[in-house]
């Protein structure tokens, strides 16, 4: 689609699911791809499969985020693209939600985004070039779902963070944008159970779940040189899920 030859891309949470789809599309576009993930076994397997590289990463740990970016700079000389994709989505109703549930969600989804973007910006600024693509969600910024109030807050928070961060690096040749997936068939989504998946298929106008590569293609566009004049924006990739005004509007 877009030519990323000679570019170095770091994809967090790239061992599985959407991150792996992003890693695959970027690698196919010619980028040198580094998968950074807490799951070492899956990370190494996916890296081998895609002709990519693997580094251990825990996004909730600032030192780990700094070390990964430093290792990319050391081994590959530059960092052109960061896809900050890691996220978790365990469900928990408010009635039983503890501070620990809340903190775990935000430590990974929101604080992890801050840690990774801050670390990447430092390296990108030295070359005056960078593309950052955050994986947010429709859940939170646009829609809601019982059991996901903490998740929804983290995903909406990522967008608020992005808009101000985009302004801070606008004159440095660096753009920050976000993809907002709908329901994409990944290991994480599968864990929500068959009832949930059936409910979602019925709510999506195409009646199909998305694939990780669908998000990969959107991320690849925002990560390309050609998207240089787009910053602080969002791209919903959801098969039209947010469109219907009523269930009857779906054919
Ligand atoms: P997934 O669970 O299939 O994969 C997530 C990956 O992140 C795994 O490889 C996991 O090992 C890694 N990870 C988890 N904790 C980590 C940590 N602390 N440090 C580093 N890596 C860690 O999830 P997915 O469905 O591919 O979701 C990826 C992103 O897309 C998330 O940000 C999620 O919120 C977002 N999203 C997913 C969907 C969907 O339908 N699947 C929809 C909207 C948004």
Give residue-wise pLDDT tens across range 76-126. 999 999 999 999 999 999 999 999 999 999 999 999 999 999 999 999 999
Question: Comparing C-alpha atoms, which of 57, 4, 3 is closest to residue 35?
Answer: 57
How many other C-beta atoms lie within 10 A of the C-beta of residue 62?
Answer: 16
Percent helix / strand / coil, the chain, rounded to 5? 50, 15, 35
Pocket of ligand 1 (CB under 6 A): 12-13, 15-19, 37-39, 42, 57-60, 85-89, 108, 135, 137, 181, 183-184, 186-189
Give the tens place of pLDDT for each residue, 166-175.
Answer: 999 999 999 9
Question: How much is the pLDDT for 218?
Answer: 98
Q: Tell the residue nearest (CA) to atom 10 of ligand 1.
A: 13
Give the tens place of pLDDT for each residue, 126-168.
Answer: 999 999 999 999 999 999 999 999 999 999 999 999 999 999 9
> d(Cα 121, Cα 43) in Å, to the nearest integer?
24
Q: How far is the CA of 175 from the centre of ligand 1 (A)?
A: 22
- 0.75 cut: is pTM over it? yes
Q: Where are the domains of the chain?
A: 8-250
Count of CA atoms in the C-beta half-sphere (13 A) of 79: 28
The CA-atom distances, in angstroms, between 46 and each of 75, 115, 158, 199, 235 are 19, 24, 26, 30, 26
Residue 124, both tokens: 């990108």
Question: How much is the pLDDT for 131?
Answer: 98
Question: How much is the pLDDT for 245?
Answer: 95
Question: Comparing C-alpha atoms, which of 2, 25, 1, 22 is closest to residue 12?
Answer: 22
pLDDT interval class at 1 (50, 70, 90) = confident
Which amino acids are annotated catalytic? 151
Contact residues for 132 (Cβ-Cβ < 8 A; gap 6+): 81, 82, 83, 84, 117, 120, 121, 124, 174, 175, 176, 177
For 27, list phi and psi in degrees, rounded to 5. Answer: -65, -40
Give the tens place of pLDDT for each residue, 15-41.
Answer: 999 999 999 999 999 999 999 999 999
> Does the domain made of 8-250 have the CATH classification 3.30.70.20?
no
């Amino acid at each position: 689609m877009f030519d990323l030859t000679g570019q170095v891309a770091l994809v967090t949470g790239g061992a599985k699911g959407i991150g792996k789809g992003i890693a695959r599309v970027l690698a196919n576009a010619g980028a040198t791809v580094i998968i950074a993930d807490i799951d070492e076994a899956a990370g190494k397997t996916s890296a081998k499969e895609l002709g990519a590289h693997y580094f251990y990463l825990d996004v909730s740990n600032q030192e780990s985020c700094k070390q990964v970016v430093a290792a990319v700079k050391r081994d590959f000389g530059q960092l052109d693209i960061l896809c900050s994709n890691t996220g978790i989505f365990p469900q928990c109703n408010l009635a039983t939600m503890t501070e620990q549930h809340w903190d775990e969600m935000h430590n990974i989804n929101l604080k992890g985004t801050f840690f990774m973007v801050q670390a990447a910006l430092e390296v990108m600024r030295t070359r005056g070039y960078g593309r950052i693509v955050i994986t947010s969600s429709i859940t939170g910024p646009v829609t809601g779902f019982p059991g996901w109030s903490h998740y929804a807050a983290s995903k909406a928070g990522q967008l608020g963070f992005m808009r101000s961060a985009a302004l801070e690096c606008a004159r440095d040749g660096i753009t920050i944008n976000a993809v907002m997936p709908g329901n994409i068939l990944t290991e994480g989504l599968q864990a929500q159970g068959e009832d949930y998946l059936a409910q979602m298929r019925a709510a999506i106008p195409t009646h199909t779940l998305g694939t990780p590569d669908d998000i990969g293609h959107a991320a690849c566009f925002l990560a390309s040189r050609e998207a240089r004049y787009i910053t602080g924006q969002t791209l919903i990739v959801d098969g039209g899920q947010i469109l219907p005004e009523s269930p009857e509007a779906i054919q």
